[in-house]
Amino acid sequence: MEATVAKTGTEGKTWGGGNQPLNASYGKMMMWFFIVSDALTFSGFLASYGFSRFKFIDAWPIADQVFTHFPFLHGVDAPMYYVAFMTFILIFSSVTMVLAVDAGHKMQKNKVIIYLFFTIIGGAIFVGSQAWEWATFIKGDYGAIETKGGKIVQFLNTDGKRVAIADFAIDLPSTHETHVEGNGVWFLSEETQTTYTFEEVKAGFLANEDLLVRTQYLDEHGEPTVLSRAESIDKVVNDGKLVVEGANLKHNEYGTPLFADFFFFITGFHGFHVFSGVIFNIIIFFNVIIGTYERRGSYEMVEKVGLYWHFVDLVWVFVFTFFYLV
């Protein structure tokens, strides 16, 4: 039996679009396919974050109380300022990429070099800033106590301002000896220790009458609940378990560990995309310098990597909105 084929366009051909469907080259079409598939991946991650956040909405950390640091301004409360700076840099790099693509269409080699250079610098600043933000998030600034139920308790003074555990913890004599090759069993690994033990933090808290604690649960005003002095003592003494400094995949001084899990995974995944984009741009940058695309008579490769860069910038807008604004 002979198969019947619907013919369109030129006689005998089943596809009349030639080798440029939708008036796009094969390379640009493949880049669009990648962008669409990657967009679906990010959409799944952000949807998971959204569902998890609204499931634990009464215990989710408030971004303005977490991302308050700014480089070289230690102790200055600057909520969201540095994240806003990072966002501005990335969006500005998208503008320079547009200018580079436009210069490529006009076969203006020198302008392509200049605009690609600024795009690379912007991307590198963003990646470095994200690495600094990660380091700050992991290290922490104040410290907290984790209860037996896995909840986070933070310390405040009577004015409602956060107090670092280093400011009130009392050094106590300890018999604990760290396992090292010289004094312990060499194959036993020592877990990461916090600066102060729970007993030292508890002793300092009881000795300081001006200290209160707040839980990670929100009150009717959408703020973490602050306990009275008597309730604070009961919470620390009877329910306290261990000291938490910073955040990792198991513990998080800012609130539920699930927040840190999503933060590291999604921002890390996006950061990997930006880092990859910087590498791609560097390769294209040197190809432009040596005249590769000038000899080809086309700067389409700049346009293709530009599509990827704009996608990365657009994804950050959604990540920024979900993690920092909503």
Cβ atoms of 42 and 315 within 8 Å: the answer is yes
DSSP 187: T
Walk along the chain (326 residues) and give the pLDDT tens digit of each residue. 444 444 444 455 554 545 555 677 788 888 999 999 999 999 999 999 999 988 888 778 888 878 888 888 776 778 889 999 999 999 999 999 999 999 999 999 999 999 999 999 999 999 999 999 999 999 888 889 888 888 888 999 888 888 888 888 888 776 455 555 555 554 455 455 778 888 889 889 898 888 999 888 777 777 788 888 899 998 988 898 889 888 888 888 888 889 999 999 999 999 999 999 999 999 999 999 999 999 998 899 999 999 999 999 999 999 999 888 88
Cβ atoms of 49 and 262 within 8 Å: the answer is yes
Q: Please provide the DSSP assignment of 32-48 as one string.
A: HHHHHHHHHHHHHHHHH
In this predicted structure, what is the pLDDT of residue 66? 84
Among the CATH numbers 1.10.150.120, 3.10.150.10, 1.20.120.80, 3.40.640.10, which is that of 32-140+259-325? 1.20.120.80
Q: Sign of dihedral through CA atoms 89, 90, 91, 93?
A: positive
As a whole number of angstroms, the distance between CA 55 and CA 272 comes to 28
DSSP 264: I
In this predicted structure, what is the pLDDT of residue 320? 93
As a whole number of angstroms, the distance between CA 40 and CA 287 comes to 31
As a whole number of angstroms, the distance between CA 194 and CA 150 comes to 17
- Domain ranges within the chain, ordered by starting residue: 32-140+259-325, 144-245
First and final C-alpha spacing in the chain: 62
In this predicted structure, what is the pLDDT of residue 174? 64
In this predicted structure, what is the pLDDT of residue 3? 47
**Paired tokens of 318:** 């959604």
Other beta carbons within 10 angstroms of residue 259's beta carbon come to 23
In this predicted structure, what is the pLDDT of residue 179? 54
In this predicted structure, what is the pLDDT of residue 250? 86
As a whole number of angstroms, the distance between CA 63 and CA 255 comes to 11
- Residue among 96, 93, 207, 92 nearest 155 (CA): 207
Burial class (CB in 10 A: 0-12, 13-18, 19+), 99: middle
Using CA atoms, how far residue 208 sits from 19, 156, 158, 170, 235, in Å, is 76, 11, 11, 11, 15
As a whole number of angstroms, the distance between CA 278 and CA 127 comes to 9
